[in-house]
Structures are given as structure tokens and as C-alpha cells.
Amino acid sequence: MTVIDVRDPRTGEVEFSFEPDSPEVVRAVCNKACEAQIAWRDNGLSYRIEAMGKWVEAFKAHAPAIIDALTKDTGRRKISGEEVGAIEHIVHGYFSKAPEIFAKVEKRSSSTPTVDFEQQYVPYPVVGVIAPWNFPLVLSFIDALPALFAGCTVVLKPSEVTPRFIDPLLASIAAVPEMEGVISVVRGGGETGQALIDNVDLIVFTGSIPTGRKIAAAAAARMIPYFLELGGKDPAIVLAGSDLERAATAIIRSAIYNTGQVCYAIERVYVQDGAHDELVRLLVEKCRALELNYPDIGKGHIGPFIFPSQAEIVKSQLEDAVSKGAKILCGGEVKELGGGLWMEATVVTDVTHDMRIMTEETFGPVIPVMRAGSVDEAVFLANDTMFGLSAAVFAPDMKSGTETAARVNAGGVSINDTELPRTITLDGEKMAFGYSGQGGSRYGATTMMRYVRKKALIRNHGDVKGLEALAEDMD
């Protein structure tokens, strides 16, 4: 089996290599998880909450080591700390939400007077989670946590690009005996992911559409459920009369955060004619004030590309756009600094939907801006995509903003801000439109219900129909 090289995104150097887990190892890990799931399920929700509480304390104790490892994995420190904080926040949220969601109903009446029933929730035994490299920790656990509270055990396959955080994470799990076999990790690339699908009862994947298609086919071949979060090309619509200072700030924050390596980053902007020139001026002015996070990791705003091939994708899209008439007003160059690959905040105008930068996921610090003559045209252009993860609308007032947002085909539409879906992680629900995903909402506490099968225990307290009913039914 070919070894996998692990690169430092800040220096470009290969720091070490590892051999991916074989299909036999993956099978053994999944079998152990299946055995552990019986007690994890049968001991009940209170037991799971108590055990998860112990794990959170161990996780916090190992947090400095996890943050250090994530920093080496991704080349950025502040966001690594935010990832750790997000896990603690989400777990504590489930502490309060799970008992309400899974409240036991002893008896429910039926429309038939002599019949009642109990609703039972049966967790899938082992859930596999295949996570990407842009947020290695959060995107491993955003799906794993609701599955764990639902009574499943989880086997994670983090990205082979960012594997350093696995060891300190496993140390936090090993510190809690109740968690043995409950959260497990396998390491490797595509072959390891295939082996995971072959041995779990449900698979969750976050990543690209092409890989998502392969995972869907593999899961369908085994007749197991699959949940897919497949990225986006999120639009922002800016209406005439909007607060353009606010719009520019929010769009840049979304587009540039984590060097644009975010599935719900704003990747295309449609601006009504009356606001276009001033918004572009503000975007360029603010982007030019941003600095690369180099050489000091403690300073600056824009980190390196985590995965070097992503820099090539961004460069290729920009070259395609320029060849078709687009203008780069700032940024736009992939720079090699200290061995890492970087790009300054980039604003592009005179773009059209004939350009890849307006139709394909970019995953870089790029803001392409397109004129729209009317609200209708802006909405049409925003919806002219195969994606539909999330979006944003900036309007002079909440009424017109809400009316416009209601017309945009995306799972979560922020109004007069960006990235608001993050604020409803445990409270609201949103699904993906188009090719951006399948499998119900991963937002809201009720996402735990994705990981259970609903079963009815139905009791008849009255007489049983006689055989004459069979004869009548046959007439």
C-alpha cells in the first residue's frame, strides 16, 4: 500500500509519511465499534450524556495539544482554537437538547379506538464519517456528535491531508473508559474511505461533488443511508439603497475567512447598477488593507492554502476569467513564500457566467462581482447554478431583504449579513439545494433523528377480525 506524505502548508515541506489503514484494519475497527454500540445504546441517554461530559473535560485538557496539531495541519492558529471551542459549545448544546428530542412517550392513541402504540427510536449501530481538510476537527464532529447522542458509535476518517490532530484527539478519548470503541479513527485516503463504507451502517461525507457521487454509489450498492454535504458557490445579492459599508465588510469577512477555504464562503456577488461602482470601490479598499499571515503566524489576516492543488484550481479559474474579459482589481497572484502558497484578497469585475470562476467552486480568497440591472435579474443569476448551500442578501430594509431571500434557492440565506447559518447550528434546520448535498438537515438539534430508525410498537386491546374479513377483502 502506498504511503501518504504529510505536508506543512506554511513551508511546503513533507514532514512525515504514514501508511494508510488496510481494509482489514478498518473492518476490525468497525467490528469493535459495533460491539461497543450495544452498551452505548442500551445504557440510555443519561449514560451517554454523562460519558460525553467526561469526554468534554478530557478534550479540554488535551485542547492545547489538539490546537497545536491543527495549527501544523492547516497553517493557521486562531481558527484552530475556534474549532476546539466550537466542539465544546456544540456538545454542551446537545446536553440540553437531547433529552427533549428523545423524550420517551409511553403511550400514544390511534385513530382506531382499541389500538395504541409506543414510538421507538432505534439508532444505526455504526456511523462512518469522512471529513475534509479545511476544518479537520469541526467537520469530523458536526455529524459525529448528534450520532453519538442518538446512540450510535462513530468511526471517523479525517482527511489524509490534515492528520496530525488525530493523536491528541485519541488521547482525549482514551482518557475516558466509557468511550472505548465509541469514537474511533481510521487513517488514509480514498481506499480507506471505501473500506469504511463497506463496514458501517450509515455514511456521512463532507467534500466535493465528484467524490460525493462515488460515495453515494458505493453506499447505494450496500443499501445503507448516506448524508452528503458537497460544497457551494454561495451568492450575495446587494440591492440598491443597501448599507454598502456593511455589505462590503460582511462579504469580505465571508469570502476571505480561512483563505476562502469554506464551503459556505461568498464566492460570487451580484450588485444592482446603482450600487455596483461604490461597492467595488469599498471591496478593493478593504481588501488591500488585509495582510498575509506571513511570516509571523500571530499577525495578518490571510493564511496559506492548506492543500497545494487548491492554489492551482484558483489560479486556473482566474486565468480563465481574464482570458474571457474579466479584470482583477487587486490580488490575484499565487505567491510562494517560505515554501507555502498564498494569495492576497482578490476582487474581480466584468465577470459572466461563461467563466468558471462564477460557476465552479473556487475555495480561495476571491470575490468576483457582477452587475445586475434589477432584483429579478440578481435573483435569476443567483439561482443559475447547480449549487445551493447558502446565500446572502443585502437590502435597504428587512422586508425587501426577506422577500428577496425567499426567492433564492439555497438552504440558509443570511439577510444583511453573511454566515448566519452558523448561529442556528443547534436551533434551526436547513437543507442543501441542488448538488450541494443530500440527506436532511445537519443543523438543529433534531438532526439527531437522522441517525435513528423510527419503529412503532402497536397494541390491539380489542377483538381480532374474524376470517370472514379475509373473504370480504378478497371480493
The answer as to whether 471 is a domain residue is no
Cα(31)–Cα(25) distance, integer angstroms: 10
258 and 211 inside one domain: no
- CA nearest 270: which of 245, 240, 290? 240
Do 48 and 101 belong to one domain?
yes
What are the residues whose beta carbons fall under 8 Å from the beta carbon of 464, sequence distance 6 or more?
none
Given a contact cutoff of 8 angstroms between Cβ atoms, the answer to whether 443 and 420 are in contact is no
What pLDDT sits at residue 376? 98
CB 385 within 8 A of CB 434: yes
Beta strands 126-130 and 202-206 are: parallel
Same domain, 93 and 202: yes
- Burial (CB < 10 A; 0-12, 13-18, 19+), residue 99, is middle
Q: Same domain, yes or no, for 187 and 316?
A: no
The domain boundary, picked from 382, 403, 424, lies at 424
Which candidate in 263, 287, 361, 419 is catalytic? 263
Average pLDDT on 52-66 reads 98
Within this chain, do residues 337 and 296 fall inside the same structural domain, yes or no? yes
All 3 cell numbers of residue 438? 443530500
Per-residue confidence at 465, pLDDT binned at 50, 70, 90?
Answer: confident
**Domain containing 388 — which CATH number?**
3.40.309.10
Q: Do the strands 266-272 and 234-238 form a parallel or antiparallel pair, or are they unpaired? A: parallel
- Going by C-alpha positions, the residue among 296, 292, 435 that lies closest to residue 365 is 292
Catalytic residue among 229, 267, 344, 361: 229
- Which grid cell sits at 61? 485538557
pLDDT of 110: 87
Q: Is the pLDDT confidence value at 112 over 70?
A: yes
2: cell is: 502506498
Report the C-alpha dihedral over residues 205, 133, 233, 367, rounded to 10 degrees: 170
Same domain, 218 and 307: no
**What are 377-391's pLDDT values in tens digits?**
999 999 999 999 999
Q: What pLDDT is recorded for position 130?
A: 98
pLDDT at 108: 81
Domain boundary among 379, 399, 424: 424
Is residue 468 domain-resident?
Answer: no
Q: What is the pTM (predicted TM-score) of this model? A: 0.95
Q: Do both 401 and 440 map to the same domain?
A: no
pLDDT at 475 over 90: no
Is 182 found in the same domain as 256? no
Q: What percent of the chain has pLDDT over 70?
A: 98
Residue 143: CA atoms inside 13 Å, Cβ hemisphere, count? 31
Q: What is the pLDDT of residues 6-49, one digit of tens each?
A: 999 999 999 999 999 999 999 999 999 999 999 999 999 999 99
Q: Hunting for cell 455514511 — which residue is that?
A: 203
Q: Does residue 463 fall inside a structural domain?
A: no
Q: How far apart are CA 40 and CA 428, in angstroms?
A: 27
Which CATH number characterizes residue 42's domain?
3.40.605.10
Q: Is 333 a catalytic residue?
A: no
What residue type is assigned to position 55 of the chain? W
How many CA atoms lie within 13 Å of 4's alpha carbon, on the beta-carbon side?
Answer: 18
Same-domain pairing of 88 and 199: yes
User: Mean of the pLDDT values across residues 290-309?
Assistant: 97
pLDDT at 329 over 60: yes
Catalytic residue at 263? yes
Establish if 105 belongs to a structural domain: yes
Angle between helix 398-405 and helix 375-383 axes, rounded to 10 deg = 40
Nearest residue to 75 (alpha-carbon basis) of 333, 307, 313, 311: 307
Given this model, what pLDDT does residue 103 score?
82
Same domain, 382 and 346: yes
Mean predicted confidence (pLDDT) in 97-126? 88
- Whole-number pLDDT of residue 469: 75
- Domain, as residue range, for 98: 4-230+432-458
pLDDT category, 472, cuts 50, 70, 90? low
Are both 149 and 185 inside the same structural domain?
yes
Asked if residue 473 is part of any domain, the answer here is no
Span 340-370, pLDDT tens digits: 999 999 999 999 999 999 999 999 999 999 9
Q: Rounded distance, CA 33 to CA 313, Å?
A: 38
CA distances from 234 to 111, 243, 325, 347 (A): 46, 20, 22, 16
Tell me what pLDDT residue 448 has: 94
Which residues lie below 8 Å from residue 252, measured CB to CB, with a gap of 6+?
A: 283, 286, 287, 290, 345, 367
Contact between 141 and 88 under an 8 Å Cβ cutoff? The reply is: no
Asked if the structure places residue 163 within a domain, the reply is: yes
Residue 212: phi and psi, rounded to 5, are -60, -40
Nearest to 451 by CA among 295, 158, 225: 225
**Residue 1: pLDDT over 90:** no
Q: At residue 268, what are phi and psi to the nearest 5 degrees?
A: -160, 140
Confirm if 285 and 329 have CB atoms less than 8 A apart: no
Query: Averaged over 290-316, what is the pLDDT?
Result: 97
Same domain for 245 and 365, yes or no, is yes
User: Looking at the domain assignment, is residue 470 inside a domain?
Assistant: no
Look at the chain and report how many structural domains it folds into.
2
464 lies in some domain: no
